[in-house]
Structure 1
């Protein structure tokens, strides 16, 4: 790549493969906090590519706000409607107050009780993949996070397939209208569920969130509905991409799979490399509320800042041989769950699912083969494989 010419972050199809990693490497070396003006966009943003700067941005909730949206193509009216009512687009003190409630279902104690169920879901999915090899393994893998998060949230089994499809549509549809419509349908689903639970108290998950709990915090109906939708999305989409990416890499690198299968690498350690490598949450946006310095750049109030997690997870200053997939990598300080106040609530659950998947593969699968060309969704926000022609061999 020409060392004197900045590569185009908005080149058509850039995220339809993995070539963007070369683009990020250029920016880390030559312009780590750069001003970007997307074609046709009314305003630009500061692009942050180095690990240390990404962490600094994520940890600064005083001068950098989440209430203006946390992704580049945020719909301003939609963001305004949920600002400070939904965790991902809120700042303290509202964020602190709501997080005290929503972190409880994802505590070590609660998830410890769910571990056996997670193991069973994973075992069933892998068994189905072995019995009925599909042209696309995604059709099996997507069941794991959907079934797990729906079960934890106490949602009716008959709704799980619809929920999985609507969540994917809300994030991945190329049509903005369809994305907005799908989000609206999910909100409506939870409005009805909350109203029904007010009469019956049949859903323990929702009842636990609506009751005055040990934090002394009560939620409004809007906060409850918006964040139930956020939990569903966070527990569904991103883990699916990690599972797919990890399987893809193990199929392409059988020597790495042999290290896990032979007991030389703990599945929990390999999980962290799968998370570093997959980067399902590619970027996060903040908006400056007062002057702030990031790297060598002076950010003015009102300007947007976008951190690229995919770049931070390949930063040469932090990771040895960052472009090498190494299941035995230790001290793996990836940022796939973010950092600071907005670090992912569901990180423990995601780790539990991915580790259970690797343990199940180790006990039931001898090898895996790539039977075609994987396909990426092309998104620069929730990025990952949406087609994976891998066959698992018992």
Structure 2
């Protein structure tokens, strides 16, 4: 919910997240194939290697911040690979995205975000001149309605893909781990039956509901739940509430990795259904699968800190001890 005094959002009408059809569909079609089931499955072995190396590093240390040292790294490394970011720059982007997403100081967050935009300004120029097989090259050489995307539009959409491909998965992964620590019987159920893991991932997505809200402007008058909404009204949809709707979910305040059916809305719906939904599910499955496969014992090593935000919902810091079984 952008304050009116901030003016129009610079990404409005230009990025996937902030654009209506038909342009939204045109932008989405440029990159949709990269996030399709077949493409994600083709990347799965490399994603598994990334998850394995991240868990290895955390186990060597014995203790870590699950948010920063595990949950943040896996989706960031994966989306960097898809975007054609050289591996030598992954740690740099890890540092600046950590500041942009999680720093307590708003000035630090702002400057980190500007640094991300500056990085993609340079990268899109390189990819426009020498395209490769990656997402930034697709955007840097793309045309919509016969016109090349402007460099500014490419940069904004690169930023959009980086944020979308990392932030919510980071928070869902760490929020899911916190839920499993608070409900040890559910972790035991997964360890006894790894076949429950896909269901467990869906329950983690429902339970964490990391993107807290969506705001839309009504295009026509309608009545919903006895409330009249007029054309032009702004309507806010709260995902944590929807994902605990007692008319949809039996015992909605119970965390249950075996829950079926689980028709949650954590990944959105309709035109703006999360582009990276399949990618996020696979990343979560690989992370928890790696921990389960090695019988890793995870214990709290301090008090978790939650994010202070109405935009996203979950841990800011989750100190843990890890030991392979």
Indicate whether the TM-score tops 0.5: yes
Partner of 1:256: 186
Equivalent residue for 1:194, pick from 115, 120, 124: 124
Cα shift at 1:93: 1.2
Q: 1:367 to 1:298 in 2, by over 3 A?
A: same
Three-state SS of the structure 1 residue aligned to 2:216 is strand
CA contact (8 A) 2:27 2:144 kept: no
Partner of 1:326: 256
CA contact (8 A) 1:100 1:215 kept: no
CA contact (8 A) 2:307 2:314 kept: yes
Structure 1, unpaired ranges of 5+: 1-70
Three-state SS of the structure 2 residue aligned to 1:146 is helix
Q: 1:305 to 1:172 in 2, by over 3 A?
A: farther
Larger RCO (CA under 8 A, 6+ residues apart)? 1
CA contact (8 A) 1:256 1:327 kept: yes
Cα separation, 1, equivalents of 2:5 and 2:31: 25
CA contact (8 A) 2:100 2:110 kept: yes
1:95 and 2:20 correspond: no
Equivalence map 1:1-394=2 (5 Å): 71-73=1-3, 76-77=6-7, 79=9, 81-141=10-70, 142-202=72-132, 204-211=134-141, 219-263=149-193, 265-394=195-324
CA contact (8 A) 1:168 1:237 kept: no
CA contact (8 A) 1:101 1:217 kept: no
Cα separation, 1, equivalents of 2:157 and 2:203: 29
Matched positions, count:
323
Cα shift at 1:243: 1.0
With the length of structure 2 as denominator, give the TM-score of the two structures: 0.91
CA contact (8 A) 1:138 1:387 kept: yes
Cα shift at 1:392: 2.3
Cα separation, 1, equivalents of 2:146 and 2:299: 52
Cα separation, 1, equivalents of 2:17 and 2:137: 22
Three-state SS of the structure 2 residue aligned to 1:260 is helix
CA contact (8 A) 1:154 1:203 kept: yes
Q: 1:318 to 1:207 in 2, by over 3 A?
A: same
Cα separation, 2, equivalents of 1:104 and 1:76: 35
Cα RMSD for the two superposed structures:
2.4
Cα shift at 1:264: 5.8
Cα separation, 2, equivalents of 1:344 and 1:199: 30
CA contact (8 A) 2:298 2:321 kept: yes
Structure 2, unpaired ranges of 5+: none
Q: 1:215 to 1:391 in 2, by over 3 A?
A: farther
Q: 1:285 to 1:163 in 2, by over 3 A?
A: same
Q: 1:136 to 1:204 in 2, by over 3 A?
A: closer
Tell me the alpha carbon deviations over residues 330-367 of structure 1, each in whole angstroms, 9 at most, x when there is no partner: 21111110111011101110001000112111111243
Cα separation, 2, equivalents of 1:284 and 1:143: 26
CA contact (8 A) 2:65 2:320 kept: yes
Partner of 1:62: none
Cα shift at 1:252: 2.3
